[in-house]
Structure formats: C-alpha cells, structure tokens
Amino acid sequence: MRDSHVERVLQRLLFDLLLVTDGRTTDILETLLNEKVRVEVIRQEQIANEDVNLLGQSSGGPYYIRESILVGEESRLVVSHNIALVYSKHVPKALYESLAHQQEGIGKAINSLSVRTFRKVLDSGFINETDTTDLFQRPVTIQFANPDQRLPYKRYYIYFGRSPGIQMLEYYHPNLISHRLEQELKKE
C-alpha cells in the first residue's frame, strides 16, 4: 500500500514537471525513459482553408499539420502522441525544410539548427481518453490510450520572434513513470 502511494506521488510530481516546462519536452521524456526516443510521423500535410478558419487565422499560410509519436529506441514504448500545426510564414526556412523531410522531432530540429525560440504553455493537465482531440477539437485516437487512465497532456506555442510558428499538442503515456520504475527495480 505504501509503495503504491509513493509511486503515485512520484508519478504526479514528475508529470507536473513535464506539463509545465517551457523547454524541450523531448529531453525530459528521454531522461524519464532512460533512453533516446525517435520520431515516427503518422501524417504530415497541408491543411484546408476551412481548418485555418476554425483557428481564427486568415493569413500567413500555408499551414501544415504534423501528427507523430515518440518511441523509445530500445523499449519501443510509445511515450507521446503529438500534433503540431506549423505556421510556415513564421518558421525559419531551414527549420521548415528540415521538418518537411520528417527525419527528426521538432525540438531536435530546432536544437540542431540553433534556432532561438521560446515556448508559451497554453494549457496542460490530465484528460480522459474519450475526450482527446486534435488542435481543431476533433476526436483523435491516441496510440497508447487506455480508457481506465487519464492522459497527461500539454498544449503550447513555439515562438520564433514575435509570432508563434508552431502550435503543439502533446499527449503522454500515463505509464511512463511506472515503466521506468520497473526498469530500475529489475536492476536491483
């Protein structure tokens, strides 16, 4: 009983850190998982004008949507399900081209190109799997969802200067912390 209580408290503390950070989330995920993660792009496409209108945007396109997952290189655990809306007009050209090739995560691409950014967290918390949506408030199927667990999530902007260039919505695997604890206990 006491061990499970300690585990829940630890899990809550670590997820709280993950959900409020305005730094590179991938770094925290790799630290929590204790291994490198790689991106797997599910879809990446230019979005229709109707979708842009839903966001209240009227100029600055084209806009692209990118849906991806981050997967542990060794464990193959899906640690996050990510949806990004790229405002191409506000993203540096070299970064935009890197993202178009779908080779690496957005944070890693930003870091490898030494692009200066800041992030503004808009919303974070825990959500029921049945309530998960994309950036247009349409239902989305999360790769690791379990109807019995609430999913940690974070929605934020990445700014390149005065305007946001990317809007991100990230859902995190609710068993990430317990997965790592199990790994550590097996070592003992």
Q: In this predicted structure, what is the pLDDT of residue 157?
A: 93
β pairing state of 118-128 and 78-87 = unpaired
Tens digits of per-residue pLDDT, 107-149? 878 888 888 888 888 998 889 988 999 998 899 999 887 778 8
Tens digits of per-residue pLDDT, 60-93? 678 889 999 999 999 999 999 999 999 888 899 8
Once rounded to an integer, what is the mean pLDDT over residues 162-168?
91
Once rounded to an integer, what is the mean pLDDT over residues 139-160?
88
**Cα 75 from Cα 164, distance rounded (Å):** 34
Asked if residue 180 lies in contact with residue 33, where contact means CB atoms within 8 angstroms, the answer is yes
Once rounded to an integer, what is the mean pLDDT over residues 42-53?
78
Task: Inform me whether the pLDDT recorded for 57 exceeds 80.
Answer: no
**Cα 176 from Cα 37, distance rounded (Å):** 13
**Cα 21 from Cα 11, distance rounded (Å):** 16
Q: In this predicted structure, what is the pLDDT of residue 163?
A: 86
**Cα 171 from Cα 151, distance rounded (Å):** 7
Once rounded to an integer, what is the mean pLDDT over residues 92-103?
81
Task: Inform me whether the pLDDT recorded for 169 exceeds 80.
Answer: yes
* Burial classification of residue 127, based on how many CB atoms lie within 10 Å of its CB (0-12 exposed, 13-18 middle, 19 or more buried): middle
Specify the range with the lowest mean pLDDT, choosing from 3-7, 49-53, 56-60, 152-156.
Answer: 56-60
Task: Inform me whether the pLDDT recorded for 50 exceeds 70.
Answer: no
Task: Inform me whether the pLDDT recorded for 1 exceeds 50.
Answer: no
pLDDT confidence band for 21 (50 / 70 / 90): low
- Rounded to the nearest integer, the mean pLDDT of the chain is 83
Angle, in degrees to the nearest 10, between helices 176-187 and 2-20: 130
Give all domains of the chain, ordered by start, each with its CATH number. 2-187 (3.40.1410.10)
Q: In this predicted structure, what is the pLDDT of residue 73?
A: 94
Q: In this predicted structure, what is the pLDDT of residue 102?
A: 66
